[in-house]
Structures are given as structure tokens and as C-alpha cells.
Amino acid sequence: MMQIIGTWIAAGLTLAIFSFLYKDNPFYKFAEHLYVGVSAAYAILYVFYFDVKPLLYEKFLTEQGAEKWILFFPAAFGLIMLARWIPKISWLSRWSIALTVGIAAGLGITGQIQGILLPQIRGTLVPLTSVNNVIMVIGVIATLVYFYFSIAHKGAVKHGARLGMVFIMVAFGASFGYTVMARISLLIGRLHFLVYEWLHLVK
């Protein structure tokens, strides 16, 4: 019985989202707000059970010595961030936000360099023994020339920059095509649910 009720609720919300194809309406707004609310609630519960509880509460109960009391610092910064909701002391939240942004920037730069930049440089240093390798190396060099603004784009640099723009447009087109295919895959999934699991038109 619960499975049937869940299927009907899922079908109703799916149709409410699809109703936006006609025009904006209360059914779509209800489904949209419900989705955002459920996503926010899930994110809060996820952070609590996978971050706050194991890394702060349980660790505080199990740790001994100075490591135990160090946990008060992240807890205090986390509570200070909630001061954003209190106008008189909202300025305190800037400390937590500044610390979070600084740590995220540092980790982000390191992650981008080690996880994306260096592997791509290593992936570009390939022997020119195949057509694919030649095209890839030419594309990388031409793209770097396009973004090199220290000299005027004239002569050979101009032609290299134009070739780089072609490679950039191809990359953007492939990325956009991948995004469209991903959305179509989601659409097919919802239509499959409506036809097979809800209406049982096809068995």
C-alpha cells in the first residue's frame, strides 16, 4: 500500500513539474518549493549525521587530552556563523565566513593544480605518433595562444589564436551536447516511470 501511495505521489509531482511546459502555475510552484525544501532538509541531516555527529560530538566523547578541547574552536566558529540571523551581532559571522572562504580557496587551488592542471600537462606530453595525439597537441598550443594577450594577435599569432578559438568552440559544443543528453536521459527516466510504473501501459 505504501509503495502504491509513493508511486502516485511521485507521479503527481512529476506531472506538476511537467506542467511548466504549458505555463507557470501553482502546481509547478508547489512541486518546486517542495523539492527545494526537501533538498535543504536532506542537506542539513546529511551534514549533521556525517559531519557534526562523527567529527565533533562522537570525537569529543572519545578523544583525550588537548585534542579533545581543540574541537571547541570549529564548534565556536560554526555557531558564530549562525549569528548572521541576529542583526546586532551579525558582524561576528564574518570571521567564520572569512575562515571558510580562505580554507576553501587554499584547498581549491591545491586541488585544481594537483587534480586538473598537472594531470592535463602530463596528458599533453605524448609522442606525436598518431593523428589523435597531433590534433590534441595542436589544439592545446592553439588554445594557449588564444589566451596569450601579452602580444598583439598579428601574423602567425593571429592564425594560431583563430585556430584556438575553433578548438574552444568545439569543446563548448561537446560540453553543451553532453549537458543536453544528460537532461534528455533524465526526461526519459521520468517518462519511463510514468508509462511503466504508474500507468502500466507497457509490461
Residues 131-180 have pLDDT tens digits of 999 999 999 999 999 999 999 999 999 999 999 999 999 999 999 999 99
pTM of the model: 0.70
The CA distance from 53 to 48, in Å, is: 6
Is residue 28 within 8 A of residue 20, CB to CB? The reply is: yes
Q: Alpha-carbon Rg of the chain, whole angstroms?
A: 26
Per-residue pLDDT of the chain (203 residues; tens, 9 = 90+): 899 999 999 999 999 999 999 999 999 999 999 999 999 999 999 999 999 999 999 988 888 877 888 888 989 998 999 898 899 999 999 999 999 999 999 999 999 999 999 999 999 999 999 999 999 999 999 999 999 999 999 999 999 999 999 999 999 999 999 999 999 999 999 999 999 999 988 87
The 3-state secondary structure of 23-56, one letter per residue: CCCHHHHHHHHHHHHHHHHHHHHHHHHHHHHHHH
